[in-house]
A = this chain, B = another copy of it.
Amino acid sequence: MSQQRNGQAAGAPDGAGFPDLPEATVARLPEYLRALHHLAETGFDTVSSEGLAAAAGVNSAKLRKDLSHLGSYGTRGVGYDVALLIAQIEHVLGLTQRRTVALVGVGNLGHALAGYGGFGTRGFRIAALFDADPGRVGEQINGLPVHDIRRLPEVVAAEAISIAVIATPAEAAQQVADQLVAAGVTSILNFAPCVLSVPDGVDVRKVDLAVELQILSFHEHRKSALTTLPSHPANGRVKIRPALNGEALAT
């Protein structure tokens, strides 16, 4: 499910397609990992699929199948060794060494991200900040200096950065993405509300707050439609009334 993905994405690199880990499973592993860390802190040494599933907010059968994909070692009649499972998942996700991340666009949102302390515990280190505004370059945030965007290639190479976060306005995002790719970045997390086009081999994930709210709005709309007309709704199926021509239409 997920997000933007271009052409034949990484995961099926050549013709002889190999399935390896299902994408849906990959998307859930981080959630399992978070739940496991929480359990470990709470003093658990082992956990059953039922328990972990509850902590991660999923079905236990799904959890077991997900874990079985990574050849996991649970013990029947007992459950999973929490510490071992953490190590396994971190290994699969490539978190055994902390990954360095670049953040481009230190505005409203970028400031919040740069100042966020929660990355360290999840396997990442923000290694560099960039902006195009000369007034912002040189500023220090959380002990990190803001670099001019033109120093991107240099710093990306020096810090061995492979992941970048874009927090610039949408108009600048494509240009920034191009610069990032040129500098050698191969994974991008995009907060700007626009589609990025990147070469094959580069992964893009997008987070758009308004999209999330609009999805919620849809369900909200649905709920209220149901409670307003409690009985005999036509034939038991909610029909979408087509908007009349010109209705709410910005001519």
Contacts and interface: CB of A to CB of B under 8 A. Distances in A.
Interface of A: 1-2, 4, 6, 9-11, 13, 16, 18, 20-21, 24, 26-27, 29-31, 33-35, 40, 55-57, 70-71, 73, 83-84, 86-88, 90-96, 99, 101, 108-109, 111-113, 115-116, 118-119, 122-124, 162-163, 186-189, 193-195, 201, 203, 205, 207-224, 226, 236-238, 240-243, 245, 247-251
Contacts of A250: 40, 83, 86
A10 B222 contact: yes
Given A124-B213, A186-B223, 16 more contacts: A10-B222, A30-B214, A34-B193, A73-B242, A87-B249, A91-B243, A92-B218, A93-B214, A99-B217, A109-B112, A112-B112, A119-B213, A123-B210, A201-B223, A205-B215, A207-B207
A187 B219 contact: yes
A93 B217 contact: yes
A12 B226 CA distance: 11
A88 B211 contact: no
22 contacts: A2-B215, A10-B222, A13-B226, A20-B222, A30-B211, A31-B211, A34-B208, A34-B210, A34-B211, A56-B195, A71-B240, A84-B249, A87-B243, A87-B247, A87-B249, A88-B243, A92-B240, A99-B213, A108-B116, A113-B209, A124-B213, A205-B215
Contacts of A118: 193, 209-210
A7 to B, nearest CB: 11
Contacts of A218: 21, 26, 29, 92-94
Contacts of A216: 163, 187-189, 203, 205
A30 B95 contact: no
A188 B122 CA distance: 24
A210 to B, nearest CB: 4
